[in-house]
Chain A
Amino acid sequence: QVQLVESGGGVVQPGRSLRLSCAASGFTFSSYAMHWVRQAPGKGLEWVAIITYDGRNDDYANTVKGRFAISRDNSKNTLSLQMNSLTIEDMAVYYCARDLSGRFTIDVWGQGTLVTVSS
């Protein structure tokens, strides 16, 4: 079955970096654009970033632009999110999610990984 499994979350100090990964299975990963979405504790969902199926193009929410970088390795069915200069406002559960091709939305979500930013 289609599955997305995030990893790499943990506790990090403000100003430091962290890299999240997402392992995809059960579908042809290289055919789909992929997103990252986050949810701060007790708060709503926030779209973070997207990368095209071939990795050639990406886009970001204004809140993370210039600090976060999304990437993918289609040979390993893996999506990544490099997060730099982390702040308290970046503390959240980060979800890896699959784009519903051609419909400009998300159809499959991972279970999420928690990033805690604390000194």
Chain B
Amino acid sequence: QSALTQPRSLSESPGQSVTISCTGTSSDVGYYDFVSWYQQHPGKAPKLMIYDVGNRPSGVPDRFSGSKSGNTASLTISGLQAEDEADYYCFSYAGSHTWVFGGGTKVTVL
């Protein structure tokens, strides 16, 4: 149950795109298509942004998209807006009814 690996921080200008990577192993990210992404603003509960690698829940802007290749999943935010500044966490099913989070990425909108 080792944490998935994410970059600690990323920054980009408004209107640009940013891609957050999430690297696991062949036992979690690489094996299951059950990767989710959460957005968390300071002092708030996480919010589901992507599930099943690339599906968006109702109400999440289509600026947010997810993908996966091998043991690495990615979240792309296109057309960055000020309100996208937050922490982002990936989350993967790891088998045997256990789950693992990534370490989190702080996205700063310059």
Binding site for B on A (CB under 8 A): 35, 37, 44-47, 50, 57, 59, 61-63, 95, 100, 103-107, 109-112
A116 shortest CB reach to chain B, Å = 16
State the total of A-B contacts with C-beta under 8 angstroms. 61
A36 to B97, CA, bound (A): 13
Mask of B20-52 contacts with A, CB within 8 angstroms, 1/0: 000000000000101010101000011110011
Contact A103 B45 (CB under 8 A): no
Interface size class of B (residues with CB under 8 A): 20 to 34
Report B-chain residues with C-beta under 8 Å of the C-beta of A61.
1, 98
Selecting from B9-17, B67-75, B76-84, B100-108, the interface stretch reads B100-108
Q: How far is the CA of A44 from the CA of B46 in the complex (A)?
A: 11
26 CB < 8 A contacts A-B:
A44-B102, A44-B104, A45-B38, A45-B46, A45-B101, A46-B101, A47-B91, A47-B99, A47-B100, A50-B99, A59-B96, A59-B98, A62-B1, A63-B1, A100-B48, A100-B51, A103-B34, A103-B51, A104-B99, A105-B93, A106-B48, A107-B57, A109-B45, A109-B46, A110-B45, A111-B45
Which of chain B's residues have a CB closer than 8 A to the CB of A44? 3, 89, 101-104
Distance between Cα atoms of A6 and B57 in the complex (Å): 24
B9 CB to nearest A CB, Å: 13
How far, in Å, is B7 (CB) from chain A's closest CB?
13
In the complex, what's the smallest C-beta–C-beta distance from B20 to chain A, in angstroms?
A: 13
